[in-house]
Amino acid sequence: MRPSWAQTAKAADASTTRHRILVVGDSLSAEYGLRRGAGWVALLQQRLAKEGVSADVRNASISGDTTSGGRARLAPLLRSYQPTHMVLELGGNDALRGLPLKSTADNLRAMTQAAQDAGAQVLIVGMQVPPNYGGDYGRQFSSLFAEVAAERKAGLVPFLLKGVADGPDAASLFQADRIHPREEAQAAMLDNVWPALRRQLR
């Protein structure tokens, strides 16, 4: 998916906008299987406008991306868009591919530091894996997001799919692949991100 700026209701020019938010994520943020403009990142732009927050959102999410892929493409994104804030939603595909947890943590750490060095506040969005991955692996995976956030003094969303993957109607909120949330789940995903991001935008 080609990244593109989401426009505000007034089509404010980025040079005069107070906040420039860069979202670097995978298919959960790239509207995989959804109609364009229905994903939680697009809903974020609408929420910002409704709340009267002067901000533009750049969605640089790519389906299938890993933390190593995000790390490799981050530098030009930072140079081009000069974000004031970065939402980092990567790591789920690392787990699906069985990549080493240390590698995932190192990549998240490096991306967070690079964005902070470029002057952006960072919000790390955590993920969890299904129980079949094993209890120890699942706990270590979910905790690494909090560990990196604490180490780098970044913001944290513990679990992007809280209330979606772990709710009573979980099956109805996912597409046929049982991995990607349906359009009906996107508002809940935004609600998970919004409180932590709103604090950073003050």
Question: Using CA atoms, how far apart are residues 175 and 164, in angstroms rounded to an integer?
Answer: 12
Describe the crossing of helices 186-201 and 40-50 by its angle, rounded to 10 degrees: 50
Residue 127 and residue 26: Cα distance in Å, rounded? 12
Structure letter (DSSP) for residue 48: H
Is residue 19 among the annotated active site residues?
no
Q: Would you say 152 and 121 are in contact if contact means Cβ atoms under 8 Å apart?
A: no
Residue 33, sorted as left (phi over 0), alpha (psi -120 to 50) or beta, turns out to be left
* Catalytic-labelled residue, pool 26, 27, 61, 94: 27
The DSSP code sequence of 58-88 is EE---TT--HHHHHHHHHHHHHHH--SEEEE
DSSP assigned state of 21 = E
Write down the catalytic residue from 13, 117, 136, 177. Answer: 177
Instruction: Decide if 142 is catalytic.
Output: no
Catalytic residue among 63, 143, 180, 191: 180
* Residue 180 annotated as catalytic: yes
Give the residue numbers marked as catalytic: 27, 177, 180
